Amino acid sequence: MFKIISNTEIGPSVHRLVILAPRVARARKPGQFVIVRKKESSERIPLTIADADPQAGTITLIVQAVGVSTKAIVATPPGDFLQDVAGPLGKPTHLERWGKVACIGGGVGTAVLYPLVKALYEKGNTIYTVIGGRGAKQVILADELREFSKELHITTEDGTLGRKGLVTIVLEDMLSGKLPCPDVVFAVGPVPMMEAVADMTRSRGIPTIVSLNAIMIDGTGMCGCCRVTVGGEVKFTCVDGPEFDGHKVDFKELRNRLSMYRQQEQKALEEYCRVEEQIRHMKQS
Ligand code: NAD
Ligand code: FES
């Protein structure tokens, strides 16, 4: 059992959880993730370790409540427990001193970007960070990322913060010379965003690393659930990734696989909301 030390809402339905997990906190490296289960009967949710404090024995996870299982995780108050926090899993980020690195985060993918930015900065790279969301409220971790970034660019689709548009408008400026052109790009966020970034950098030969959020079960390469095709080869996101060469990922296949259980997820969510409503009603009456 893993104790929740704190649970703070940092954006609409996005929570920062600090969890007591001393062994994971000591062993984790940037880019790795854990698989969390709220209860023994719960779905397994892969979550990137956003930060860790080995001395305090804690890890930080940033969780967006989108389905039944993530809603149950973020509803866990401080002092309460999660059944499992298994990890660290996945390959750590490959770190080099490349020079100028553009780190691009879309929406809640910014939470996955944060430990990468920190590690790339500590390796001696100059970081140009771009983060974006639908509106100002969906932009997360701006202050934390500013600390490690030479420049921090913010975009919102509704123009309520930073430049109006998608994160790729800033990348366009980088590639056209209006802003410093990066030697390497890291992109984390929705699949269409990572695909768009990879498409833009491919012809210029700028290495582009993406972090994939495949559906996972065991997280150890046994079940095949997190299968992706990279450069024509089958890879398992949990053991071969989660980071891959964005120019080689079959994004279409990934999109299809991610939408495979959408109907079941929607049904389960409706049932969860119905039961929650009933409980609320009973408490009120
Ligand atoms: P969102 O759809 O609101 O998009 C966030 C931002 O990403 C947008 O504001 C825009 O700047 C950029 N973006 C989106 N589509 C784009 C496109 N086609 N071209 C260029 N830029 C684009 O995202 P959200 O709702 O905050 O995040 C949820 C999504 O992020 C889910 O799809 C989830 O699976 C994914 N996600 C991915 C990871 C990962 O590790 N890759 C981690 C967490 C969440
Ligand atoms: Fe089972 Fe990756 S989650 S093989």
Q: How far is the CA of 215 from the centre of ligand 2 (A)?
A: 8
Q: Taking the model in full, what pTM does it have?
A: 0.90
Rounded to the nearest 5°, which phi and psi values hold at 217? -120, -70
Residue pLDDT, tens place only, 42-71 = 888 999 999 999 999 999 999 999 888 888
Select from 220, 230, 257, 260 the residue to mutate for testing ligand 2; criterion: most ligand atoms less than 8 Å from CB.
220
Q: What angle do CA 30, 32, 34 make, to 5 degrees?
A: 135
CA 136 to chain centre: 18
Confidence at residue 225, expressed as pLDDT on a 0 to 100 scale: 86
Q: Are the CB atoms for 131 and 144 separated by under 8 Å?
A: no
CA 258 to chain centre: 15
Select from 213, 254, 258 the residue to mutate for testing ligand 1; criterion: most ligand atoms less than 8 Å from CB.
213
List the residue whose alpha carbon is closest to atom 31 of ligand 1: 190
- Cβ < 6 Å from ligand 2: which residues? 216-219, 221-226, 236, 238
CA–CA gap between residue 267 and residue 270 (Å, rounded)? 5
Atom in ligand 2 nearest the alpha carbon of residue 224: 4
Q: Which residue has the tokens 């052109």?
A: 181
Q: Are the CB atoms for 193 and 255 separated by under 8 Å?
A: no
Give me 283's structure tokens.
């408490």
Confidence at residue 56, expressed as pLDDT on a 0 to 100 scale: 96
Low-confidence residues of the chain: pLDDT under 50:
none
Q: How far is the CA of 76 from the centre of ligand 1 (A)?
A: 25
Select from 167, 170, 209, 211 the residue to mutate for testing ligand 1; criterion: most ligand atoms less than 8 Å from CB.
167
Confidence at residue 218, expressed as pLDDT on a 0 to 100 scale: 86
Confidence at residue 248, expressed as pLDDT on a 0 to 100 scale: 97
Instruction: Select from 174, 232, 239, 233 the least CA-distant residue to 212.
Output: 239
CA–CA gap between residue 197 and residue 204 (Å, rounded)? 12
User: Which ligand does the CA of 44 lie closest to?
Assistant: 2
Q: Which residue has the tokens 């996101």?
A: 237
Give me 141's structure tokens.
């971790």
Which residue segments constitute the domains of the chain, with CATH numbers given? 2-89 (2.40.30.10), 100-211 (3.40.50.80)
